[in-house]
Amino acid sequence: MSGAVSESSLPVVILGAGLAGLTVALHLARTQPVVVLAKRQLEEGATAWAQGGIVGVLGSDDSIDSHVRDTQEAGAGLVDERTAEFIARHSAEAVAWLVERGVPFSPDPDGPLGLHLTREGGHAVRRIAHAADATGKAIHDVLLDEVRRHPNITLRERWMAVDLITNRHLKKSATEPGQQPRCHGVYALNIDTHQVETLAASAVVLATGGVGKVYRYTSNPDTSTGDGIAMAWRAGCRVANMEFIQFHPTCLYHPQERSFLITEALRGEGGILKLPDGTRFMPDHDERGELAPRDIVARAIDFEMKKHGVDHVWLDATHLGEAFLKEHFPTIFARCLQLGIDISKQPIPVVPAAHYTCGGVVTDLNGRTDLPGLYAVGETTYTGLHGANRLASNSLLECVVLGKTCADDIEAQIPKKAPKVSDWDESQVTDADEEVVISHNWDELRLLMWNYVGIVRTTRRLERALHRIKLLRSEIDDYYAAFRVSRDLLELRNLVDCAELIVRSALSRQESRGLHFSRDYPHTLPVSFPTILCKKPKKKDAWLP
């Protein structure tokens, strides 16, 4: 167990070592100590898997208004215009900050900032700065190297937050009548020693990513288990728009590779989607063809697969030529070749897969949640930027822009005295006797979410899913109460929380919009609003739309 720390040394604890977490850490470390927890290796996470790039309003043919319009159109009427404008206005600054750090973006001597800009679905112009087809890894490697060398930042690999420390965890002697609710730190599991420590913090930042692993098929890494969303919900924070799970249209379909993404930029450069007989089908679904927003392309592929009884479609880029493909998409070219697919001569088999969580913990533009002392940045959050469908490459941009504003807000706060927190109590639990229960429930949850809460939904399917989730929750809660925690158990507990949030959000939206398509409510309402879930106090299953 950790002991008390002096007021001057109380750190900011950041959960997650992706772009959002590292951006906050680098800005904060100028003035105060920072602890970053990563539940797996530091190199793992969604950022390093991002292929496409980061939006920058940089070109002479571009404007902030144009980017905002594209964001709003992709977001299907639910984008917060103020948020979109703020982030677009700071996009050039965000890209420049990454360039200053040494991120090796693909160059173009004639391009703005000397960068090559590409175009992706939903964008009116070329505005995506990229590092070939491995932008996320290029950015992550540079920032992680800087973070590792920073004297004010402590990195802890293989540490996972169990739960947030709030007022209910304070020792009775430290509580006062009418005391304002606040986040005071986290209980954190050292995965190697199996010990839970108490980490007091001046502020906690959730940068844990999305919830893709709640689905059987996903482009997300194993870290994407909705930890931040679930912990914030349990602590009383509002959660919004969880029904809008973005399914990336083109994940590689191959028995040896279930999570490899085929970047949208390949379609942006001219890749064509085809049926097994070679017929192009996207123009039949949208006049923008392969460059339509992701929700439209994913539904079109799902429709064609079901119509023709096939288990995948083809993405044909052979006409772009071997030299072009090797230069612009070296990662995809090499990985496909390892699997026996020469993309310069053969089309790529692809299927949709869960890719991005457009909803999450409600925050403002400074990353503040409903609970003082608790912040959130990145895919964990709902800021209003993504609406009912995220525009390609807006995600990395959001991390950088709001990572800075979050750090600035934390710096402006008055330092807090270290609280007297109750230690983690394991006196009433034992070691797990049958861990097969965890793997069985994990598999069942992911399968039912895929079958009942996927790209196309019905009310009956959603109700069946909710019934099964409640039964699983009961089993998981019993298991959590009886046995010592492990990473697998904590992730399963967080996933079942997020699954219920997704299903209840979907049931409350009686229309089809963006990423949420219901056969029972196929039409889009003329006016709609975000789905905001609020946890009523003292009622176990109380929800407010």
Catalytic residue among 294, 461, 504, 513: 294
Q: How far is CA 484 from the centre of its chain?
A: 28
Question: What residues form DSSP beta bridges with 252?
Answer: 350
Can you tell me whether residue 518 is helix, strand or coil?
A: strand
- Please give the Cα distance from 360 to 78 (Å, whole number): 14
CA distance 375 to 186: 13
For the beta carbon of residue 105, count every other beta carbon within 10 angstroms.
24
Complete DSSP assignment for 244-258? -EEEEEEEE-BTTBS
| Number of C-beta neighbours around residue 100 at 10 A | 8
Closest to 36 (Cα-Cα) out of 146, 165, 168, 167: 146
Residue 371 corresponds to which tokens in the numbers above? 């609970």
Q: Which residues pair with 164 in a beta bridge?
A: 186
Cα–Cα distance measured from residue 514 to residue 75, given in angstroms and rounded to the nearest whole number: 7
Residue partners of 154: CB distance under 8 A and separation at least 6: 11, 33, 34, 35, 36
8 A C-beta contact, residue 90 and residue 58: no
Nearest to 155 by CA among 297, 243, 311, 45: 45
446 a catalytic residue:
no
Phi and psi at residue 153, to the nearest 5°: -115, 125
Rounded Cα distance between 491 and 231, Å, is: 11
* Site of tokens 């991002």: 50
DSSP string, 294-322: HHHHHHHHHHHHHHHT-S-EEEE-GGG-H
Taking the alpha carbons at both ends of the chain, their separation in whole angstroms is 40
Distances (CA, A) of 79 to 52, 62, 388, 536: 22, 20, 7, 26
Q: What is the CA radius of gyration of the chain?
A: 23
The two three-digit tokens of residue 91, written as one number: 């996009």
532-535/239-240 β-pairing: antiparallel
Residues recognised as catalytic:
294
